[in-house]
Chains A and B, each alone.
Chain A
Amino acid sequence: MNANKALKSLFIAVPMLTLAACSSNQGAEEAVDQQTNQQQQEQQQQEQSGVDVGAVERQKTPEEIRAEKVAELRQENMIFFAFDDSRISSEYAQVLAAHADFLVQNPGVTVTIEGHCDERGTPEYNIALGERRAKAVAQYLQNLGVSSSQVTTVSYGEEKPLINASNNDAYAKNRRGVLVY
């Protein structure tokens, strides 16, 4: 339940982060500044006592590396569609290539592709349309070498909107394919 909620907030947070790219970059820069300050302080302390302290990078387990990669891919796990359309726009080529690359390198990992629609049209017809979108994404990944056994699809039609409103902006956000690991 909590994971579900966290995931939901992530869905909301991701587009907001993208929108607020400038401000978050500033935040990142500040963090870097702080880190530099800390390193300088340590260096000063070391110079005073006259010793050199070294360290090695800890080896990450393959699981950790995969988890990090999945977390990274989750940051961009949605692609959006035009009204009554299941064609994948070229602007998502990079995103989908990253997912495909990961899946090819990790044949044991499976992904579920959810197909979603906006609220216009009947719920049952939208289930069919949502499946067509999910399958379009699945086919795209398979064309990039992903095994069909790694990919499952599920259509939620108009039942799980990302934005719960009846306007064009909300509709555009709701017509989506989501890659869920």
Chain B
Amino acid sequence: MTKLKVFFITVCALVVGLTGVAQAKLEIVITEGINTARPIAVVPFEWKGSGPKPDGLTEVVAADLMRSGKFNPIPLTAMPQRPSSSSQVDYTEWASLGVEALLVGTIAPDGLDRYTVSFEIIDVLRGQITSGTQVLQNGQLVTSQDHILDARSSVISGDQFRQYSHRISDIFYETLTGQRGAFMTRIAYVTVNHNSDKPYELVVADYDGFNERVLLRSPEPLMSPSWSPDGNKLAYVSFENKKPQIFIQDIYTRAREQMTDFPGINSSPVFSPDGKSLAMVLSKDGNPELYVMEIATKRLRRVTNHHAIDTEPSWSPDGNSLIFTSERGGRPQLYSVNLSAGQVRRLTFEGEQNLGGTFSPDGKQVIMVNRTQGNYHIARQDYPNGSMQILTQTALDESPSLAPNGSMVIYSTTHNNQQVLALVSVDGRFKARLPTREGEVKSPSWSPFLR
């Protein structure tokens, strides 16, 4: 317990330190779950040049790995040594601390504003057994290297440290979990600052809140940002013309295209997995129904036809069906509709309401907003049927969006009377909050894998 507390303070110090340097608007505060993570060590890389060391790299990696909820990087002060390569590692010392894996490396100057970054990912337990032993390879005796899980070297420029840090985190994460890392991803979200004459902003940032960029600033509401599968575009709803209209905006070129201007609701645009269509909700034919629009031709196809509210479509990963929220059973619950046969099937039965469903990337689970006894929480259920697990205990949780590797959910919640973003791992163990300094933050949408 005390250990955990000390660690928590260190974590805070680390995070605060980082944000102080980079002036990020979002600071991640871990609220639960570090004690279930695997202990590792991210050893500060050795600087081989003269002059000041380019800093921040290993801090970013450690913060990434900690935020994944799967790893618990030990504080610098607890490290028995600071090796920069596998040959310098005292395996017994690290193993006695319970550390499972090490990240060690060097940064060397390589011309004007260019650096060679080399690193190794080391399995401590295997290193304790096999390091330094001689094995027979191609008829020759060589020193065993099977405790070195990965070793790489890259030349980067001075402004690429942050990005390359996320790259190292991705490699480390995949090496130790077998699952692709999602640290080189972005999130899109809407901020609302009621004191501004243009209160509504559509913002894109790195997944950790750094490098915030405002893509659109408006006097009228912005809603439901959703990524194209190539990560180049966002679809969203804007009320800039005093009515809801769906737009697609290229996040790099600023090119914007108005997709809809139908009477009534124009809501919930979501790109199909192949990027060629948009699922959306329109009420032009009387009440809210699901439609699919072919983006190239803007040709519409109606998917649902029911007098109750149908809304919040989300594509299955194979693109063959949509899940959606419908009131056809009296209260909002999740349903799926097969796009070729039009067959509708109810998915959720637990709790008073279930809304805002979204598929996990493997299509085996659905993440949603569950209302039980008046409380709105993020929940997970196997698809198409299975028991439901509530993942969060925060207040008024909504707009869940999954990381492209399916490991974490980012969602909107209310903390101290203010809308903020929060993270929860899909197993519900790890929880963190991303508070802002001013205004509300909502409608987060996690990007697909980039590059």
Contacts and interface: CB of A to CB of B under 8 A. Distances in A.
A155 B268 CA distance: 14
A128 B376 contact: no
B417 interface: yes
Which 5 pairs across A and B sit closest by C-beta, in order of nearness?
Answer: A159-B221, A122-B356, A128-B309, A128-B288, A122-B355
A123 B265 contact: no
B281 A160 contact: no
B244 A154 contact: yes
B113 interface: no
B247 interface: no
Interface string B189-230: 000001001000000000000000000000101011000000
A179 B80 CA distance: 70
A112 B239 CA distance: 14
Contacts of A92: none
State the main secondary structure of chain B at its contact with A: strand
A94 to B, nearest CB: 28
B356 A125 contact: yes
B406 interface: no
A89 B327 CA distance: 23
Interface in B131-146: none
Contacts of B399: 122-123
A35 B346 CA distance: 70
18 contacts: A1-B197, A122-B399, A123-B223, A123-B224, A123-B398, A124-B281, A124-B325, A127-B265, A128-B281, A128-B288, A128-B311, A131-B288, A132-B287, A155-B265, A156-B239, A166-B395, A166-B414, A166-B417
Contact of A124 (B243, B312, B419): B312
Contacts of A112: 242
Nearest to A129: B309
B283 A131 contact: yes
B281 A121 contact: no
Contacts of B243: 154
Interface of B: 194, 197, 219, 221, 223-224, 239, 242-244, 264-265, 267-268, 281, 283, 287-288, 309, 311-312, 325, 332, 353, 355-356, 369, 371, 376, 395-396, 398-399, 414, 417, 419, 442-443
Interface SS of A by simple majority: mixed
A121 B283 contact: no
Contacts of A174: none
Interface of A: 1, 4, 112, 119-125, 127-129, 131-132, 153-157, 159-160, 164-166
Given A120-B396, A121-B376, A156-B239, A128 B221 contact: no
A124 B311 contact: yes
B417 A153 contact: no
Contacts of A131: 264-265, 283, 288
Nearest to A161: B194
A165 B440 CA distance: 12
Nearest to A130: B265
A153 B265 CA distance: 10
B214 to A, nearest CB: 18
B417 A124 contact: no
A125 B242 contact: no
A171 to B, nearest CB: 11
A165 B283 CA distance: 30
A123 B376 CA distance: 13
A159 to B, nearest CB: 4
A128 B283 CA distance: 9
Given A156-B239, A159-B239, A124 B264 contact: no
A122 B398 contact: yes
A119 B399 CA distance: 12
Contact of B267 (A4, A127, A154): A127
